[in-house]
Chain A
Amino acid sequence: MKMKHALRRKLVQIAAFGFSNIHLTNFRGGRIYQGKWKQFCNPGLNCYSCPAAGLSCPIGALQAVGGSMNFQFSFYVAGFLLAVGALFGRAVCGWVCPFGLFQELLHKIPSPKWKLPGWMRYLKYGILLVFVILLPVAATDYMGMGKPAFCQFICPAGTLEGGLPLLGTHPELRQSIGALFFLKAAVLVITLGGCVFAYRFFCRVMCPLGAIYGLMNRVSFFRLEVDPSKCINCGKCARECGMEVDPVRTPDCAECIRCGDCARACPAGAIRLGFGRRYSGKKG
């Protein structure tokens, strides 16, 4: 049963990864998909300049509209993120984000494993505010157009999924490599290394999308509940959690990706993940 849950989550993650990156043949020749589906956003982080991507990256899309000549804020993308967040919260991270799965695989590489200092989780809110929301709107050129600052200076998914395959297949693009590329390559190396040593390093420290969904864990319809009448306070759930959450104390913590590892670890079967509310919250 426990094994079944872990396998089920992996299968969903792999299916979502495949769905997000369905145009695999585009890697040959370094083309990107240019069809109509790209007006829709992927719930998870997946660069739209990845040759295989079939949908838009929501963080890229948010900046693209915010930095456009006519608008400073994207109701379309913000509405999409609010809807997904209200339904699922950060379960998107635990179940369907392609970059989340990639990080989990990196963490399986044998190495010393580290905890992260608590303050690091707050960096992603700063990144969301400054690089995704403010800079594309505030730092504009003479035509009133801003650049997607998160994509430009930080996003390791863009460098990995878009940059490396496209630069590898387009010699003319390689001629434009400069300081910006080396900055982004350095961020990518730090991120990949971080993910080997610390579980989902990017999700916990840097991801603006995870920051948005995390804040919505408190109100999302998909939720984690602990039955106080069953919980024996053994602490096994908190020890098992890779995101360093204690689900008994803070079931709606913004770091919880609703992966269910705690529920699997609980010897009393006190933790439930799903839609709707089942437990009254009374000890008994």
Chain B
Amino acid sequence: MSSKGDHGQGASERDGVRDGGGAPASGRYRNRAGALLLAAACGFVLYGLFRGEAAIVLNKAVNICLECIGLG
């Protein structure tokens, strides 16, 4: 048992794999991937707007969502 700020995790434990993936990506690969994703994201948003998805989101959000409040 431990609190935030005291997880009782020593340097030796740090050698084991306990926090999953996430080793640093190389800088250039990372920047390219980020830029590519950002460009794709902008395309997605524009395409979604063109298809009229924003209206569906608005319509759902301005009415009480019965599923959200546990009745649906």
What is the interface of chain A, defined by CB distance below 8 A to chain B? 32-36, 38-39, 41, 47-49, 56-57, 60-61, 64-65, 68, 70-71, 74-83, 85-87, 107, 112-115, 118, 121, 147-148, 151-152, 155, 158-159, 162-163, 166-167, 173, 176-178, 180-181, 183-185, 199, 216-221, 223, 225, 233-235, 238-242, 244-246, 248-256, 261, 277, 281
Contact = CB atoms under 8 A, between A and B. Distances in A.
Interface in B13-72: 14, 18-27, 30-31, 33-34, 37-38, 40-49, 51, 53-58, 60-72
A244 B56 CA distance: 39
B9 A219 contact: no
A158 B20 contact: no
A82 B1 CA distance: 36
Contact of A39 (B10, B42, B54): B54
B22 A254 contact: yes
A162 B56 contact: no
Contacts of B23: 249-252
A166 B64 CA distance: 9
Contacts of A166: 64, 69
B56 to A, nearest CB: 5
28 contacts: A39-B61, A48-B61, A60-B68, A61-B61, A74-B57, A75-B48, A76-B49, A78-B48, A79-B41, A82-B41, A83-B37, A86-B41, A115-B2, A115-B7, A158-B70, A176-B66, A177-B71, A184-B70, A219-B37, A234-B11, A239-B10, A241-B7, A244-B18, A245-B19, A246-B18, A246-B19, A249-B14, A253-B20
Interface residues of B, number: 58
Nearest to A30: B64
Given A219-B30, A242-B4, A254-B21, 7 more contacts: A38-B61, A61-B60, A176-B66, A218-B22, A250-B22, A253-B21, A277-B27
B69 to A, nearest CB: 4
A122 B45 CA distance: 28
A185 B70 contact: yes
A159 B65 CA distance: 11
A49 B37 contact: no
